[in-house]
Amino acid sequence: MTIKNRGGVFGRNPTFNNVDVDGTLSIAGTAVPAPADTLTTSDIGSTVQAYDADTAKLDVAQTFIAQQDFPTASATSFGVGVTSPSRQFTVQATGSGDNLPVRIIGGSAASQCYIELHDAATTADYNVRVGSAGDDLELYAGGSNRLDVRSNGDVSVQAGNLIIGTSGKGIDFSATAGTGTSELFDDYEEGTYTATLTPDSGSITLLYDQLKYTKIGRLVTVMGLLNVSTVSTPTGYLGLNLPFIISTGSNYANRSANAGYGSGFVSLNCNEVNLAATESLSLAYFIDTSGATANGAAMGQQFQAGTQFFVTLSYHTN
């Protein structure tokens, strides 16, 4: 039945099904459900139409198939499946086990589906996109694609760096078979440091004193050229400072040495001087491989103005 905007009187308490109103329908009595009421279970499965925007009802047709809690003048939250939502919009799944309470579907099979987050202080887009390009999940920030999770499980950083923000954390390779004590890659560093030579007594001043280092996990590699400018009667053992302390260990497992090369020594040949790294020390010591002295007990005396030494040393740190 259609009620036209032409006036007319009906009998007491008429009942209509599927009524179309051509004009304005004014309700002098009580609407069921009343406009200010919160939808109840009796509304489930019904279609509610044309309620004022300031009431709990919707202004457009809406089929309700679950419990609803709509905002009123005193409430600022909206809940689906929950009567006391803790956020402006809360969806609570029903039942136990895994649930799919929300589904957002794109307009076509060839288009992406967006969930957009927008800061009121900026015009940049922050959104998550899925679909079209191989069903990949794409994260956009500042209007540009930053991170992708591929449908095959790969993760691709599209812009910027992957930052490990907590010390001791990194990339865990424990899923691969191995017998090592750790499969966590938790550090990488490269840089330059100022080298110093420290004899038991006297002093050595360097002209070239910058060494480069690379730290991959616990493995440190140092390289560069040392060139002596002046000396002041150096004697005894001679140590080279390191960028990281040498790690501790049992059975001398953390000791290492380089096959050194140098020139301008007081009496030793160019290939008779090496560097040795000993556990728990912050210095690597020069050693005499000619057998003329007890290891490196007199290496300080071998360095003079013009002596130079090529450093390549790898060792473990803590």
Place of tokens 């009796």: 42
Strands 62-63 and 68-69 turn out to be unpaired
Bridge partner residues of 156 (DSSP): 148
Instruction: Please give the Cα distance from 44 to 212 (Å, whole number).
Output: 72
Q: Give the pLDDT score at 91.
A: 82
Tokens of 228: 């002596």
318 residues of the chain, pLDDT tens digit each: 555 555 555 555 666 666 666 666 666 655 555 544 555 545 544 444 434 444 444 444 455 555 555 555 555 777 777 877 888 888 888 777 777 777 777 777 777 788 887 777 776 667 888 876 668 888 888 888 888 988 888 999 999 899 999 998 999 988 887 788 888 999 999 999 999 999 999 999 999 999 999 999 999 999 999 999 999 999 999 999 999 999 998 888 889 998 779 999 999 998 899 999 999 999 999 999 887 766 788 999 999 999 999 999 999 998
Place of tokens 């923000």: 165
Task: Give, as one character, the DSSP assignment of residue 299.
Answer: G
Of the CA atoms within 13 Å of residue 144, those in its CB half-sphere come to: 6
CB atoms within 10 A of CB 234: 21
Q: Give the pLDDT score at 49.
A: 42
Q: Give the pLDDT score at 74.
A: 56
Whole-model pTM: value is 0.67
Residue-wise DSSP of 92-158: ---SSS---------SSTTS-EEEEE--TT----EEEEESSSTT-EEEEETTEEEEEE-TTS-EEE-
- From the centroid of its chain, how far is CA 155? 12
Query: Which residue type sits at 237?
Result: Y
Q: Give the pLDDT score at 3.
A: 56
Place of tokens 């009343």: 34
> Which residues neighbour 109 within 8 Å (Cβ) at sequence distance 6 or greater?
none
Instruction: Please give the Cα distance from 145 to 122 (Å, whole number).
Output: 17
Query: Which residue type sits at 160?
Result: G
Task: Give, as one character, the DSSP assignment of residue 235.
Answer: E
Q: Give the pLDDT score at 310.
A: 96
